[in-house]
C-alpha cells in the first residue's frame, strides 16, 4: 500500500475570479469556489497557469491569496504560485504567502531565454534556500519552453526545502520515469498536471493530481482518486471518462489561453464565477458560449448559485444603502 | 511633420549595469549613457532584452528610465520597453516609464501564453489608447514565441496605434518585406533593425536606422555605417559590417547555448573599457568563468578598442555640448 504523503491527493488549480474586465479580484466568487472545493475535500493551488498567474498584477495576486486564505481558514492545504522572471518578485510573493498561511510555494523557471541545466539547478537552489516556505517545482514546457531535466529534478529533490514536482509535460514515459524515481520517497511528491491521464497516473503511483476541470467537478476527481488508489480500475476509468467529457467542452480545439477563457465561461454558466479573463485573452465568442450553454443543459451539470439568486441577494443590499 | 521624425539613425538598446551586490549601478549606467552620447548615438532604448527587462520589478524598470532620463541630453530620445504578460501590466509599466522621463514606449508581445492576432491587436490598441505617446512594437519571436504578422502591423500603423517597429527577428527577408509594404502603403511607420549580425544588409534594404545591441561596444562604428548608408557609400558599409561580424565572432562563448550569454560578454568588455564597474549578470544566467573572461581578453576586448579608435567621430561632433 502506497504511503500518503503530506503533499498529495486532488489539488485543484483554481481560476482567479475577477469582478470586472480590469482584473479586480472577486471576493464573493472566491468564497463560493472555495466552499465548492472544500465541500469535496480537495486542496487548492492558486496562481498557476489556470489562475492566469503571469497576467495578474502584484496587488491582484496578494489580494487573491489573502481572499482565499480568509475563505479557507486552514480547512484545506493551499499552494500558491510565485513564478516570475524577476527573482525579487518571487521572493516577495513567497514572504507574503507565508504570512497568509500558505502550505507551499510553486514555481516554474523563468522562460524568456533558454537556460542550461546548471542554470536551472542554481535558480531553484537559490529560490529554495531563500524561501520561508517549502517549494514545489513546476514543469510546464507549453508556456516556459523548458522541460525540467529529470536528472536536475532528482538533484533538487534532495534539497530539504523542495518537497515535490508538479509535472504538466504531457509525456507518459517521462511521468512513469518520475514516479519510478520519486514515488517511494516520503519527502518528495509527484503531482500530475495532465487531467486526462489522472487515473493512469494514480495507478502508476503518482502522489497527486492537479486537474483544471476540478474547478467544476472536484467531487468526481476525489472519487476517481479514491477508486484508483484502492485499485478499483474500472470505477477510476469510468470517472476519468466522465471528467474527460467536461474537459473536452472547454479544451477541444482551443489554445491553452483560449481554454482558460472557455473554462471561466463554463464556470460562469454554472454560477461559480464571472467569465472575465485578463487581456490580451479575449472572452468567449457568442457562438462558443451558446454551445457551452447547450452542453451544460444536455449534460445536466450541477449549478451552484444561480444568477437570479445573486440578483436577489444584491437587491436588498443595495436598498439598505 | 510628425513627432516621430526624431526617431532615426542609431538607437542603442542599453545594457543593465549591476554593482558587486547585484543591484542597479546608477553610476555605471550614467557612464554608459555618456559613453554612447559622446559617440553620436541618436536615441536610447531602455529596458530591452539587453537590459534584462524581464528580470526587473516594476519599480526597478521605472528607476532605470529615471536614471537614464536624468543623464541624457534632451535631444536624445528615450524609448522605454514595457513588455509584460498582460495588457494592464504593460499599461502600468508604460505610465511609470513616461512619468520617469521616457519620450515614448515600446512593447514585446506578451510571452507566457500564445495569443491570436486579434488578441494582440487589441492589446497594442489598448496600450496605445492608455498612453497616447509614440509606441513601438518590439518583434523578438525567438524569445517571445509570439509576433505580430505583417498585416496586423500595417493595420496598427494605419490606425495610429504603432509609430514604429524594432525588428529583432534576425530575418532579413521579413524585414525587407515589412519595409516594402510600408513604402507601398505610404505608412508613417518608423522601422529599425535590431539584429547586430545583419547590420550591413539591414542598412542596404532600408528603414530608418539601427537598434542593435553591438552598438553598446562600438557605437561610433554603427553610427558611421548608418551615415555611410544614407550617402550610399556601400563599400564603407560593407567594410564596417564585416568588422561587426568579426567582433560578434570574437564575443562568442563556445560553451554557452543561450543567446543571453552575449550580454555577459558585452558587460565584460565594457567593464574592461572602464565604462561600467562589473560584469555581473542577472540570475539565472551564469556569470562568466575565468576561462571565458580570458577568451574575451584575447580577442574581443582588444578588437573593441581597435574599432573604437578607428571609428572616432570627427572632432566637430565631439565639441558639440552634450547638455
pLDDT at B280 over 60: yes
Cα(A63)–Cα(A27) distance, rounded to whole angstroms?
A: 9
pLDDT of A321 above 50: no
Mean pLDDT value across residues A263-286? 96
Residue A1 pLDDT class (50, 70, 90 cuts): low
Among the listed residues A37, A48, A107, the one whose alpha carbon sits nearest the alpha carbon of residue A77: A37
Report yes or no on whether pTM surpasses 0.90: yes
Q: Residues B88-95: what's their mean pLDDT?
A: 98
Residues 76-135 of A with CB under 8 A from B: 85-89, 109-116, 118-120, 122-123, 126
CA angle at B61 for the pair A257 and B74, rounded to the nearest 5° = 125
> Is residue A185 pLDDT above 90, yes or no?
yes
| Mean of pLDDT values over B124-148 | 96
pLDDT interval class at A11 (50, 70, 90): very high
**Model confidence at A137: pLDDT above 90:** yes
The residue that leads in pLDDT, A303 or A17, is: A17
Is B86 in contact with A278 (Cβ distance < 8 A)? yes
Q: What is the DSSP string of B226-269?
A: HHHHHTT-HHHHHHHHHHHHHHHHHH--TT---TTHHHHHHHHH
**Nearest CB to A282: which of B54, B119, B286?**
B119
Smallest Cβ–Cβ distance between A110 and the set B54, B58, B116 belongs to B54
Q: How confident is the model at residue A38, as a pLDDT?
A: 97
| Residue A79 β-bridge partners | A45, A104
Among candidates A54, A114, A122 on the partner chain, residue whose Cβ is nearest the Cβ of B85: A54
- pLDDT value of residue A314: 52
Among A88, A257, A279, A283, the strongest candidate for a mutation testing the B interface, having the largest count of B CBs within 10 A, is A279
CA distance A92 to chain B (A): 11
Residue with C-alpha cell 469582478?
A19
List of chain A residues whose C-beta atoms are within 8 Å of the C-beta of residue B256: 116
CA separation for the pair A11, A195 (Å, rounded) = 11
Cα dist from B230 to B163, B204, B233, B311, whole Å: 21, 9, 8, 17
A contact residues 215-274, partner B, Cβ 8 Å cutoff: 255-258, 260
The 8-class DSSP code of residue B297 comes to I
Q: In the prediction, which pLDDT does A191 show? A: 98
CB contact under 8 A, B86 and A279: yes
The pLDDT of B36-60, averaged and rounded, is 97
Q: Name A86's Cβ contacts closer than 8 Å, sequence gap at least 6.
A: B54, B55, B56, B57, B60
- Look-up: residue for cell 530539504? A160
Cell of B140: 523578438
B86 to chain A: closest CA residue: A55
State the smallest CA–CA distance between residue B79 and chain A in angstroms: 21
Q: How many helices (H) and strands (E) does chain B have?
A: 14, 8
Question: Which of B47, B49, B56, B85 is the best substitution to test chain A (most A C-beta atoms within 10 A)?
Answer: B85
Q: DSSP secondary-structure letter at B196?
A: G
Query: What does the alpha-carbon distance between residue B209 and residue B194 come to, in Å, rounded to a whole number?
Result: 9
pLDDT of residue B315: 56
CA distance linking residue B209 with residue B10, whole number of Å: 6
Region A128-135 average pLDDT: 98
pLDDT score of A309: 52
Q: CA-nearest residue of chain B to A112? A: B143
Mean pLDDT rounded to a whole number for chain B? 95
Check whether B323 has a pLDDT greater than 70: no
pLDDT digits (tens, 9 = 90+) for B150-195: 999 999 999 999 999 999 999 999 999 999 999 999 999 999 999 9
Phi-psi region of B253 (alpha: psi -120 to 50; beta: other; left: phi over 0): beta
Q: In whole angstroms, what is the distance from residue B121 CA to residue B104 CA?
A: 19
Beta bridge partners of A137: A107, A165
d(CA A129, CA A125): 6
Nearest chain A Cα to B286, which residue?
Answer: A119
SS3 sequence of chain A: CCCCCCCCEEEEECCCCECCCCCCECHHHHHHHHHHHHCCCCEEEECCCCCCHHHCCHHHHHHHHHHHHHHHCCCCCEEEECCCCCHHHHHHHHHHHHHCCCCEEEECCCCCCCCCHHHHHHHHHHHHHHCCCCEEEEECHHHHCCCCCHHHHHHHCCCCCEEEEEECCCCHHHHHHHHHHHCCCCCCEEEECCHHHHHHHHHHCCCEECCHHHHCCHHHHHHHHHHHHCCCHHHHHHHHHHHHHHHHHHHCCCCHHHHHHHHHHHHHHCCCCCCCCCCCCCCCCHHHHHHHHHHHHHCCCCCCCCHHHHHHHHHHHHHHC
**Which of A56, A113, A143 minimises the CB distance to B113?**
A143
Cα dist from B253 to A60, A115, A202, B198, B289, whole Å: 41, 15, 45, 19, 10
pLDDT score, position A2? 67
Among the partner-chain residues B87, B283, B286, the one whose CB lies closest to the CB of A280 is B87
Provide, as residue numbers in chain A, all residues whose Cβ is less than 8 Å from the Cβ of B255: none
Establish whether the linkage from the previous residue to B178 is cis, with ω within 30° of 0. Answer: no
| A122/B112 CB distance under 8 A | no
pLDDT value at residue A130: 97
ipTM tops 0.95: no
Q: Tell me the pLDDT tens digit for each residue of B147-162.
A: 999 999 999 999 999 9
Chain-chain contact of B283 with A126 (C-beta, under 8 angstroms):
yes
List chain B residues with CB under 8 Å of A255.
113-114, 116
Tell me if B88 and A278 make a contact (CB, 8 A cut-off): yes
> Which of A22, A114, A143 lies nearest to residue B88, judging by beta carbons?
A22
pLDDT band at A21 (very low <50, low <70, confident <90, very high): confident
Residue that is written with C-alpha cell 524515481 in the block: A181
In whole angstroms, give the CA distance from residue B43 to residue B36. Answer: 9
Amino acid at each position: 500500500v502506497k504511503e500518503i504523503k503530506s503533499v498529495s491527493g486532488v489539488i485543484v488549480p483554481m481560476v482567479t475570479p475577477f469582478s470586472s474586465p480590469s482584473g479586480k479580484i472577486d471576493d464573493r466568487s472566491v468564497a463560493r469556489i472555495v466552499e465548492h472545493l472544500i465541500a469535496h475535500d480537495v486542496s487548492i493551488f492558486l496562481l498557476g497557469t489556470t489562475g492566469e498567474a503571469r497576467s495578474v498584477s502584484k496587488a491582484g495576486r496578494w489580494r487573491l491569496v489573502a481572499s482565499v486564505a480568509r475563505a479557507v481558514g486552514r480547512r484545506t492545504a493551499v499552494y500558491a504560485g510565485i513564478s516570475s522572471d524577476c527573482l525579487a518578485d518571487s521572493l516577495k510573493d513567497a514572504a507574503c504567502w507565508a504570512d497568509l498561511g500558505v502550505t507551499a510555494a510553486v514555481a516554474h523557471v523563468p522562460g524568456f531565454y533558454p537556460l542550461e541545466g546548471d542554470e536551472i539547478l542554481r535558480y531553484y537552489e537559490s529560490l529554495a534556500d531563500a524561501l520561508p516556505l517549502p517549494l514545489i517545482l513546476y514543469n510546464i514546457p507549453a508556456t516556459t519552453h523548458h522541460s525540467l531535466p529529470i536528472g536536475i529534478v532528482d538533484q533538487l529533490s534532495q534539497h530539504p526545502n523542495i518537497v515535490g514536482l508538479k509535472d504538466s509535460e504531457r509525456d507518459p514515459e517521462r511521468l512513469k520515469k518520475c514516479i519510478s524515481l520519486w514515488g517511494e520517497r516520503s519527502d518528495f511528491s509527484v503531482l500530475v498536471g495532465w487531467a486526462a491521464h489522472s487515473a493512469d497516473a494514480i495507478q502508476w503511483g503518482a502522489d497527486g493530481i492537479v486537474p483544471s476541470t476540478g474547478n467544476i467537478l472536484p467531487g468526481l476527481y476525489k472519487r476517481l482518486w479514491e477508486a484508483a488508489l484502492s485499485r478499483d480500475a474500472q470505477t477510476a476509468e469510468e470517472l476519468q471518462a466522465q471528467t474527460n467529457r467536461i474537459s473536452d467542452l472547454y479544451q477541444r480545439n482551443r489554445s491553452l489561453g483560449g481554454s482558460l477563457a472557455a473554462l471561466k465561461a463554463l464556470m460562469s454558466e454554472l454560477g461559480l464565477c464571472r467569465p472575465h479573463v485578463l487581456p490580451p485573452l479575449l472572452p468567449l465568442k457568442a457562438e462558443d458560449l451558446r454551445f457551452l450553454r447547450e452542453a451544460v443543459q444536455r449534460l445536466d451539470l450541477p449549478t451552484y448559485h444561480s444568477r437570479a439568486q445573486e440578483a436577489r441577494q444584491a437587491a436588498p443590499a443595495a436598498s439598505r444603502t | 511633420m510628425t513627432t516621430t521624425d526624431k526617431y532615426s539613425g542609431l538607437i542603442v538598446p542599453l545594457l543593465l549595469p549591476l554593482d558587486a551586490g547585484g543591484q542597479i549601478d546608477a553610476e555605471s549606467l550614467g557612464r554608459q549613457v555618456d559613453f554612447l552620447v559622446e559617440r553620436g548615438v541618436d536615441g536610447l532604448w531602455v529596458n530591452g532584452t539587453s537590459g534584462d527587462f524581464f528580470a526587473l520589478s516594476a519599480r526597478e524598470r521605472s528607476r532605470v528610465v529615471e536614471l537614464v532620463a536624468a543623464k541624457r541630453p534632451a535631444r536624445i530620445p528615450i524609448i522605454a520597453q514595457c513588455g509584460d504578460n498582460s495588457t494592464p501590466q504593460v499599461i502600468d509599466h508604460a505610465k511609470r516609464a513616461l512619468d520617469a522621463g521616457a519620450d515614448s514606449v515600446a512593447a514585446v508581445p506578451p510571452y507566457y501564453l500564445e495569443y491570436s492576432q486579434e488578441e494582440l491587436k487589441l492589446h497594442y490598441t489598448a496600450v496605445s489608447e492608455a498612453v497616447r505617446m509614440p509606441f513601438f512594437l518590439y518583434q523578438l519571436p525567438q524569445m517571445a514565441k509570439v509576433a505580430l504578422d505583417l498585416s496586423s502591423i500595417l493595420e496598427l500603423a494605419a490606425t495610429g496605434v504603432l509609430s514604429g517597429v524594432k525588428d529583432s527577428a534576425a530575418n532579413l527577408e521579413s524585414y525587407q518585406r515589412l519595409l516594402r509594404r510600408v513604402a507601398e502603403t505610404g505608412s508613417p511607420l518608423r522601422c529599425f533593425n535590431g539584429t547586430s549580425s545583419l547590420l550591413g544588409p539591414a542598412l542596404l534594404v532600408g528603414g530608418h536606422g539601427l537598434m542593435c545591441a553591438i552598438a553598446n561596444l562600438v557605437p561610433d562604428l554603427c553610427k558611421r555605417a548608418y551615415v555611410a548608408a544614407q550617402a550610399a557609400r556601400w563599400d564603407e558599409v560593407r567594410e564596417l559590417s564585416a568588422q561587426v561580424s568579426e567582433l560578434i565572432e570574437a564575443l562568442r562563448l563556445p560553451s554557452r547555448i543561450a543567446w543571453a550569454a552575449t550580454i555577459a560578454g558585452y558587460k565584460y568588455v565594457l567593464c574592461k573599457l572602464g565604462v561600467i564597474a562589473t560584469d555581473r549578470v542577472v540570475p539565472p544566467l551564469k556569470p562568466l568563468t575565468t576561462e571565458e573572461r580570458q577568451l574575451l581578453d584575447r580577442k574581443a576586448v582588444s578588437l573593441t578598442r581597435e574599432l573604437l579608435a578607428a571609428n572616432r567621430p570627427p572632432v566637430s561632433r565631439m565639441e558639440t555640448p552634450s547638455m
